[in-house]
Structure 1
Amino acid sequence: MSLRFADGDFQSAWKELDEPQLDGGWELFTETMGVQIHRLYDEETGLYEYKVFGVLAACTPELCADVYMDLAYRKQWDGYVKELHEKDFDGQKAIYWEVKYPFPLSNRDYVYMRERQDLDMDGRKIWVILAKSSTVTPCMEKSGVLRVKDYKQSVALESDGGCGTKVFMNYFDNPGGMIPPWLVNWAAKSGVPGFLTDMQKACKGYANYCQKK
């Protein structure tokens, strides 16, 4: 059984570059470094879903997409990665990702599918990457590591008209366990802008990394 993304999923992701969909309870959570983060409370889980709008300076969207997709490279620039690689489960490709959490919390891991499409929409070049957790790809759970079974992310990238990239990201995961609210807030307020800053640095170093491979 294959887990596929619908064409409509890609369309709805890139359209938010033009028209952010923030009706129905979305609130501005924080704004920093030219990045706006909005959140929506999910009553079922008691957690928040996030939408991120911003610009990555001095990185082209194609380069951002290439860096985002390169798992081996991410292990070098993302300090929260404990383990990250693509696996073959019964003929299906999925990604295994273990994330470091601060002591005394347990690490989390994910098994997810993802797909990238490079779109040409009436002359506009837009890169969209979708990811969501997969239950159709069996992977043994590790002792002491909590499996995140509800995860989704969409990223849309387009030129900002100059040398940078306009970014939209929609994100939700349910990390399970008892995570203190301060850590959840820190991850959203500091973690997302920090990740985008790290992405910019990673983009600048990508050509050099590829030459050394």
Structure 2
Amino acid sequence: MLKRLKQITWIVLASTMLMGNVAHAATQEKLSINKNGIKVWTYQVENNPVMRYRAETIVNTTLENAVGLILDTEKGKKWIPYVSDLSVIERNDTTGKFIVYMRLDFPFPLSDRDLVVEGKLSKLSGGKIVFKNKSITDSRVPIHTNIVRIQQYEGDWVFQKLGAQQVKVTTSGFADPAGAIPLSFVNNFVQQQPYQMLQRMKQQVKQSNYTTKDIPEVLH
């Protein structure tokens, strides 16, 4: 196994931690933020006041460098808000499947959150790289009395190569944060967090130099 891949904890999950419950009917997307080359669309689903989002930007780097940054645990802690713990429970670099534990530290007086996520990495025929994640229950991860366990979560990342040094990055998803969180905090988070995250990512990728050897076999 590659040294960096041994540290993978799939920080891609953090981008979609507070996006609302699963539902069927959705309202039309609204372009909530459009600045510094980053766009964030938000929308709501039927019988749910919490917004969901989709965000995208263009990163001036190679596809391998963008994906490698997302998979680097130590770097992720520098630019993904709220994440305090990321632990791999199991991982298969050949199939791209993994299970990970994540903890989020929220500002007082909100309780911290955690969750167990099952994910899958894949490379589509057109060259796009896709990360798909969803929450699961796992007996290896006990529920802590002082942390709220997130039970409903799904989130995707898509990386599309536009040129030798240009990658389109898209992230979207939702989660039921569970417990007591003011709706105003959640909806503001939905808009601002993906914007801030992508903004930090664009800066962090300038300091990185990941190549094909730094990403799982399934993505080659």
Q: TM-score, normalised by structure 2?
A: 0.71
Q: 1:43 maps to which residue?
A: 46
SS in 2 for 1:75: helix
**Percent pairwise identity:** 23
Q: 1:129 maps to which residue?
A: 131
SS in 1 for 2:165: coil
Name the CA shift for 1:146/1:132 in 2 (closer, same or farther; >3 Å).
Answer: same
Higher relative contact order (CA 8 A, sep 6+): 2
CA shift for structure 1 position 178: 2.2
- 1:133–1:152 Cα contact (<8 Å) kept: yes
The counterpart of 1:119, out of the listed 114, 117, 124, is 124
Q: 1:104 maps to which residue?
A: 109
Name the CA shift for 1:148/1:93 in 2 (closer, same or farther; >3 Å).
Answer: same
Name the CA shift for 1:144/1:103 in 2 (closer, same or farther; >3 Å).
Answer: same
Which stretch shifts more, 75-84 or 112-121? 75-84
Q: 2:209 maps to which residue?
A: 207
- 1:94–1:137 Cα contact (<8 Å) kept: no
Alignment-mate amino acid for residue 34 of structure 2: E
Q: 1:3 maps to which residue?
A: none
Q: Deviations over 1:5-58 (max 9, x none)?
A: xxxxxxxxxxxxxxxxxx8532222222222222221234432221112222x2
Counterpart Cα distance in 1 of 2:28 and 2:35: 21
CA shift for structure 1 position 137: 5.4
- 2:116–2:138 Cα contact (<8 Å) kept: no
Q: 1:33 maps to which residue?
A: 36
Q: 1:95 maps to which residue?
A: 100
The counterpart of 2:179, out of the listed 177, 180, 186, is 177
CA shift for structure 1 position 156: 0.8
Name the CA shift for 1:116/1:88 in 2 (closer, same or farther; >3 Å).
Answer: closer
**1:147 and 2:152 equivalent?**
no
Structure 1: state its 5+ residue gaps. 1-22
Q: 1:9 maps to which residue?
A: none
- 2:86–2:103 Cα contact (<8 Å) kept: yes
Name the CA shift for 1:43/1:199 in 2 (closer, same or farther; >3 Å).
Answer: same
Name the CA shift for 1:186/1:49 in 2 (closer, same or farther; >3 Å).
Answer: closer
The counterpart of 1:55, out of the listed 58, 74, 86, is 58
Alignment-mate amino acid for residue 98 of structure 1: R
